[in-house]
A = this chain, B = another copy of it.
Amino acid sequence: MHDPVTLVALLHGPDQPGLVARVAGWIFARGGNILHADQHRDREAGVFFQRIEWIPAPAAMDPAVAAGDFCSFAATLGMTARVAASDQRPRIAVFVLKADHCFHDLVLRGKAGEFAGEIVAVVSNHPDIAPAAAAYGLPFHLIPVTSNEKRAAEARQLALLADLEVELVVLARYMQVLSGDFLAAFRRPVINIHHSFLPAFAGGKPYHQAHERGVKLIGATAHYATAALDDGPIIQQDVARVTHRHSVADLVRKGRDLEKIVLAQAVRWHLENRVLVYGSKTVVFD
């Protein structure tokens, strides 16, 4: 037996009395059965956030229509809403350079059914990953990026993403900064993994910086990419203990485990519509 299709709404807007009851009442009145509802108030900012998941009434034949209706209703409450159906599986492009641990990890988790989405393209500016992508049966796209021709390369990437109807880009240790123009043109979320506990050690050589500073923990941070380098809203972070015995190479090795787990968790949460961005922060309904 299949699980029934559910709808998930993420909504936010100015806080006011009665929001929890009104949203629940609207769904109930249309024959929906609420499975989960989780909300948060930012008291200082006066903002209300909610993730609510429900099974629509069988008569509400078309989830797309039900989603549109909900967004209209949310607007009457002054709320912005985004609704997804559980049988929609966003199409994902993974961007990768040479370090391939996050790439393998994402693909194997996808095959194990951990993600509510499909990896449909692997993009790199080096051919190294091509055979591994082929072994997994994944289309590989070589798009070389040189400093003079970055704009042209990004245009090719954007065309590919549009062509493949990609809804999420995951930078799996891609090590290239996507320009603000790229992000503005793509208009879809891009998740990046940074190999430090941000805001410590932003930039290009975080393990070297961590070793130099003598920290006792190293970290990894998954965040949405923004035009400002390593400064986007943080989705997930984790750390591991290190000592004076660990060389930079040891930090790199230990960091790989952090990067894999942190990035995979961020991607999983995003695909399950658990992450709401506001300002420079995220609300994660886990």
Residues of B within 8 A of A216 (CB): 234-237, 284
How many of chain A's residues have a CB under 8 angstroms from any CB in B?
60
**A interface list, Cβ under 8 A from B:** 17-22, 24-25, 27-28, 33-43, 49, 101, 104, 108, 112, 114, 135, 197-201, 213-217, 219, 233-239, 243-245, 247, 253, 256-257, 261, 280-284, 286
B37 touches A17 (CB 8 A): no
| Complex alpha-carbon distance, A256 and B260, angstroms | 13
Residues of B within 8 A of A284 (CB): 216, 243-244
How many copies the complex holds: the figure is 4
| Complex alpha-carbon distance, A21 and B54, angstroms | 11
Q: Which of B19, B219, B245, B253 contacts A40 (CB under 8 A)?
A: B245
B41 touches A20 (CB 8 A): no
Residues A217 and B238 in contact in the complex (CB < 8 Å), given A21-B25, A244-B40 = yes
Q: Which of B40, B200, B286 contacts A199 (CB under 8 A)?
A: B200
Q: Which of B19, B42, B101 contacts A108 (CB under 8 A)?
A: B101
B38 touches A38 (CB 8 A): yes
Residues of B within 8 A of A239 (CB): 197, 217, 239
- Beyond A20-B34, A21-B24, A24-B24, list 4 extra A-B contacts (CB 8 Å): A37-B39, A243-B284, A243-B286, A244-B283
Residues of B within 8 A of A43 (CB): 247
